[in-house]
């Protein structure tokens, strides 16, 4: 297996707040699927590979996995069982090939922080991160910051400000911290930096309630 | 090849504003990769499949594709050449397995609209769409609405309001329309509906400038 790039490990030495990736089982298959998604974009139609054969091969794997899968309702109940951190979300989830994944750590100051380098799948403007991808990373990071602070909820409002383009292919620092809790209203802020340049800021209002877990 | 679900086709009869998917070549391989990403999440570790073998198989394909791929700088220049709509973005791109894909059409009223059904890879709260995924879909849709209106730019500010949870597994209508252009400042709005219930609204400020295309 390819070892994750070192720059995707946060500089912080605080506790890891999102799921650990295993080196085998579904996490290993998902990590390979991520590399495949990037490889498809890097290759495009210009590669020498027989892409119809690749499609058939991938479909065969997908069919085999789906045949062995439990009903969705059962899988949903399993996903949300217990008190552990989720393993399936599209930002940090080791079981989700959409997730870069972003690895978030708690800091001593009560904030959360992670470092991630994004490749072509996350592109918006030429050579830069899609504004909506920055929103996705920040929404999730603010949610984890609320968990870390001890009072979490669902996003009610999120405002992103794009100060400068966010580059692909270089380490980005994503941070979040809870600002205030007033009754059920939680205010949380975060940002994405490239080096010491702030690229995107986020301000979120969260409401302290949760959807019921499937059972 | 599996045919895309009919509910992922917009009800609108206006012109398609995003790239058409081809049934062969890289688009077919990417469509299969999407099914694979969903299948991995649906299966989890509970499937009978040998997931380490799956990982090895996917990695072998990724390595083969990467070996045949041009240098990234060359691929970037190729992606942005010409006047066609992008094929690589994480929302509508036929070459990007992260994209559901959302298929957007122009309406006679000058708005844009698409219908999409999201599966487990896009989950946030139990059984519902991740708030950041809604932000991603809306940011992109607002950008396409600006193109359709004739004056487009880069996101400067985006505000999302989450009115109710957005369900997975059912058709969602995503809309966007340009509200005003004042010098270089463009205001654009959009929403995500499930049936006739508005789940998320977006208001964006865009600045009429573009990053240079790589060459």
Q: What pLDDT is attached to residue B39?
A: 96
A48: contact with B, CB 8 A cutoff: yes
* Mean pLDDT calculated for residue range A127-150: 97
Best CATH choice for the domain B6-207 from the list 1.10.3210.10, 3.60.9.10, 2.40.10.10, 3.10.129.10: 3.10.129.10
Cβ separation of A57 and B56 shorter than 8 Å? Answer: no
* Mean pLDDT calculated for residue range B76-96: 91
Instruction: Reduce the DSSP state of residue A55 to 3 states and report it.
Output: helix
Domain locations in chain B as residue ranges = 6-207
Cβ separation of A161 and B156 shorter than 8 Å? Answer: yes
Q: What pLDDT is attached to residue A15?
A: 92
Q: What pLDDT is attached to residue B71?
A: 92
A169 to A127, B70, B107, B139: CA distances (angstroms): 8, 16, 37, 22
A137 to A1, A132, B156, B175, B181: CA distances (angstroms): 26, 9, 17, 23, 29
Long-range contacts of residues B193-199, Cβ cutoff 8 Å, at least 24 apart = B194/B166, B194/B167, B194/B170, B195/B170, B197/B164, B198/B163, B198/B164, B199/B129, B199/B134, B199/B162, B199/B163, B199/B164, B199/B165, B199/B166, B199/B167, B199/B172
Q: Locate the chain B residue with the closest alpha carbon to A124.
A: B89
Q: CA-CA distance, B53 to B72, in Å (whole number)?
A: 29
Question: If pLDDT is split at 50, 70 and 90, which confidence band does A2 have?
Answer: very low
- Closest partner residue to B36 (CB to CB) among A62, A95, A165 is A62
A160: contact with B, CB 8 A cutoff: yes
Q: CA-CA distance, B137 to B151, in Å (whole number)?
A: 20
Cβ separation of B47 and A54 shorter than 8 Å? Answer: no
Half-sphere exposure of A128 (CA within 13 A, CB side): 20
Q: What pLDDT is attached to residue A4?
A: 41
A102: contact with B, CB 8 A cutoff: no
Tokens of B134: 């809604």
**CB contact at 8 A, A202 and A139:** yes
pLDDT in tens, A145-201: 999 999 999 999 999 999 999 999 999 999 999 999 999 999 999 999 999 999 999
Instruction: Reduce the DSSP state of residue B213 to 3 states and report it.
Output: coil
């Amino acid at each position: 297996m390819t070892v994750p790039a070192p720059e995707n490990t946060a500089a912080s030495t605080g506790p890891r707040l999102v799921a650990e990736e295993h080196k085998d089982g579904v996490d290993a298959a998902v990590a390979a699927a991520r590399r495949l998604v990037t490889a498809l974009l890097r290759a495009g139609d210009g590669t020498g590979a027989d892409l119809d054969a690749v499609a058939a091969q991938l479909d065969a794997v997908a069919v085999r996995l789906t045949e062995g899968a439990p009903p969705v309702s059962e899988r949903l109940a399993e996903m949300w069982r217990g008190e552990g951190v989720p393993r399936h979300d599209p930002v940090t989830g080791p079981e989700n090939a959409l997730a870069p994944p972003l690895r978030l750590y708690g800091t001593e100051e009560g904030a959360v922080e992670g470092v991630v380098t994004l490749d072509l799948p996350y592109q918006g403007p030429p050579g830069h991160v899609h504004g909506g991808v920055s929103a996705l990373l920040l929404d999730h990071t603010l949610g984890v910051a609320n968990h870390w602070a001890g009072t979490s909820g669902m996003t009610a409002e999120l405002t992103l400000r794009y100060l400068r383009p966010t580059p692909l292919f270089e380490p980005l620092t994503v941070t979040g911290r809870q600002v205030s809790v007033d009754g059920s209203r939680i205010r949380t802020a975060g940002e994405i930096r490239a080096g010491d340049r702030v690229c995107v800021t986020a301000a979120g209002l969260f409401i302290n309630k949760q959807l019921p877990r499937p059972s």
